[in-house]
Amino acid sequence: MMTTFQRRSKKIVLSVLAALLFAMSNASVFLAYAAYSIEGKTLGANSPKKVTFSKDDADTCVGIVTSLERSHYLGLKFNDNLSSKILNRYVDILDPAKNLFTQIEINEFDKIRYWLDNTLEKGDLTPGYALFNIYLERSFERLNYIVINIDNWQKNFSFDGNDEIALDRKDAPWPKDKDELTRLWNQELKNAVISLRLEGENDEDITTLLSKRYKSRLNRLMQTNSEDAFKTYMNAVAMTFDPHTQFFPPRMSEDFDIQMSLSLEGIGAVLQSDYEYTKVVSLIPAGPADKSGQLMPGDKIIGVGQGISGAIQDTIGWRIDEVVNLIRGPKDTFVSLKIIPAGQKSSQNFKMVNIKRDKVKLEEQAAHKKMITLTRNGRAVNIGIITIPTFYLDFKGMQEDTNDYRSTTRDVLSLMQDLEKQKIQGLIIDLRDNGGGALQEANQLTGLFIKSGPTVQIRSRNGYMSRLDDPDPSVAYRGPLIVMVNRMSASASEIFAGAIKDYNRGIVVGTQTFGKGTVQALQPIESGQLKLTTAKFYRVSGESTQNLGILPDIEFPHIYNNDETGESSLDGALPWDKSRQASYTPYLALEPVITQLKEKHLKRVDGNPDFVYLKERYEFSKEIYNAKSLSLNARKRADYQQHLKQVELDIENRLRSAKGLKLLSSVDQLRDSGTDGGKGVDDEDEIVVEAPRKEEKEDILLKETEEIMGDFIKIAQFKGYKW
Q: What 8-state DSSP symbol labels residue 50?
A: P
The span from the CA of 120 to the CA of 585, in Å, is 50
User: How big is the chain, counted in residues?
Assistant: 723
In this predicted structure, the answer to whether residue 489 has a pLDDT above a threshold of 90 is yes
144 versus 264: the higher-pLDDT residue is 144
Side chain identity at residue 275, one-letter code: Y
Its sign, for the CA torsion 243, 249, 251, 254, is negative
Q: What is the pLDDT of residues 226-282, one digit of tens each?
A: 999 999 999 999 999 999 999 998 864 334 444 433 334 578 888 888 777 888 888
Where along the chain do the CATH 2.30.42.10 domains lie?
A: 258-356
In this predicted structure, the answer to whether residue 558 has a pLDDT above a threshold of 50 is yes
Torsion angle of the four alpha carbons 46, 49, 50, 55, in this order, in degrees rounded to the nearest 10? 170
In this predicted structure, the answer to whether residue 602 has a pLDDT above a threshold of 50 is yes
CATH of domain 258-356: 2.30.42.10
What is the model's pLDDT at position 706? 97
The span from the CA of 408 to the CA of 430, in Å, is 13
Tell me how far the alpha carbon of residue 445 is from its chain's centroid. Answer: 27
Q: What is the pLDDT of residues 370-383, one digit of tens each?
A: 999 999 888 999 99
The span from the CA of 214 to the CA of 233, in Å, is 25
Q: What is the mean pLDDT of residues 180-197?
A: 96
Percentage of the chain modeled with pLDDT above 90: 67
Nearest of 18, 528, 26, 25 to residue 227 by alpha carbon: 528
What is the model's pLDDT at position 48? 84
| Candidate list 345, 351, 501, 516, residue with the active-site label | 516
In this predicted structure, the answer to whether residue 27 has a pLDDT above a threshold of 60 is no
Q: What 8-state DSSP symbol labels residue 575?
A: P
Low-confidence winner among 11-25, 387-401, 630-644 (lowest mean pLDDT):
11-25
Angle at 181 between CA 178 and CA 183, to 5 degrees: 115
- Three-class DSSP category at 45: coil
CB of 470 closer than 8 Å to CB of 453: yes
What is the model's pLDDT at position 362? 67
Q: What is the mean pLDDT of residues 118-125?
A: 97
Where along the chain do the CATH 3.90.226.10 domains lie?
A: 366-589
In this predicted structure, the answer to whether residue 483 has a pLDDT above a threshold of 90 is yes
Left if phi > 0, otherwise alpha if psi is -120 to 50, otherwise beta: which for 430? beta
What is the model's pLDDT at position 6? 38
Nearest of 517, 486, 528 to residue 282 by alpha carbon: 486
What is the model's pLDDT at position 262? 35
What is the model's pLDDT at position 265? 59
In this predicted structure, the answer to whether residue 552 has a pLDDT above a threshold of 70 is yes
Tell me how far the alpha carbon of residue 133 is from its chain's centroid. Answer: 29
Side chain identity at residue 469, one-letter code: D
Q: What is the mean pLDDT of residues 16-42?
A: 37
Three-state secondary structure readout of 253-315: CCCCCEECCCCCCECCEEEEEECCEEEEEEECCCCHHHHHCCCCCCCEEEEEEECCCCCEEEC
Q: Which residues contact 4 (CB under 8 A, 6 or more apart)?
A: none
HSE (CB half, 13 Å, CA atoms) of 675?
A: 24
Nearest of 137, 95, 126 to residue 23 by alpha carbon: 126
The span from the CA of 9 to the CA of 640, in Å, is 60
In this predicted structure, the answer to whether residue 586 has a pLDDT above a threshold of 60 is yes
Q: Residue 508 burial (CB < 10 Å; 0-12/13-18/19+)?
A: buried
The span from the CA of 39 to the CA of 104, in Å, is 10
CB crowding 543-553: b at 16 or more within 10 Å, else e: bbbbbbbbbbb
In this predicted structure, the answer to whether residue 614 has a pLDDT above a threshold of 80 is yes
| Candidate list 95, 228, 502, 553, residue with the active-site label | 502
The percent helix, strand, coil of the chain (3-state, each to 5) is 40, 20, 40
Q: What is the mean pLDDT of the chain?
A: 86
Q: What is the pLDDT of residues 439-482, one digit of tens each?
A: 999 999 999 999 999 999 999 999 999 999 998 899 999 999 99
CB crowding 356-380: b at 16 or more within 10 Å, else e: ebbebeeeebbbbbeebebeeeeee
Low-confidence winner among 190-194, 205-209, 359-363, 560-564 (lowest mean pLDDT):
359-363
- Three-class DSSP category at 485: strand
The span from the CA of 65 to the CA of 63, in Å, is 6
What is the model's pLDDT at position 186? 97
Tell me how far the alpha carbon of residue 364 is from its chain's centroid. Answer: 23
| Candidate list 37, 336, 489, 491, residue with the active-site label | 491
Q: Which residues contact 92 (CB under 8 A, 6 or more apart)?
A: 571
CB of 218 closer than 8 Å to CB of 143: yes
In this predicted structure, the answer to whether residue 546 has a pLDDT above a threshold of 60 is yes
| Active-site residue, 657 included | no
CATH says 366-589 is which class? Answer: alpha beta
The span from the CA of 395 to the CA of 276, in Å, is 38
Q: What is the mean pLDDT of residues 183-190?
A: 97
Q: What is the pLDDT of residues 397-421, one digit of tens each?
A: 777 777 778 899 999 999 999 999 9
The span from the CA of 690 to the CA of 158, in Å, is 44
Q: Which residues contact 452 (CB under 8 A, 6 or more apart)?
A: 469, 470, 471, 472, 473
Low-confidence winner among 11-25, 40-54, 217-231, 240-254 (lowest mean pLDDT):
11-25
Low-confidence winner among 386-390, 559-563, 615-619 (lowest mean pLDDT):
559-563
In this predicted structure, the answer to whether residue 720 has a pLDDT above a threshold of 70 is yes
CB of 284 closer than 8 Å to CB of 259: yes
Q: What is the pLDDT of residues 657-712, one digit of tens each?
A: 999 999 999 887 764 433 333 333 333 333 333 334 444 545 899 999 999 999 99
Its sign, for the CA torsion 473, 477, 480, 486, is negative
CB of 30 closer than 8 Å to CB of 38: yes
Terminal Cα-to-Cα distance of the chain (whole angstroms) = 59
| Active-site residue, 469 included | no
What is the model's pLDDT at position 19? 37
Long-range contacts of 143-146 (CB under 8 A, 24+ apart): 143/214, 143/217, 143/218, 143/221, 144/218, 145/182, 145/185, 146/185, 146/188, 146/189, 146/214
What is the model's pLDDT at position 314? 86
What is the model's pLDDT at position 317? 79
Side chain identity at residue 415, one-letter code: L
CB of 457 closer than 8 Å to CB of 701: no
| Active-site residue, 502 included | yes
Provide φ and ψ at 359, rounded to 5°: -80, 145
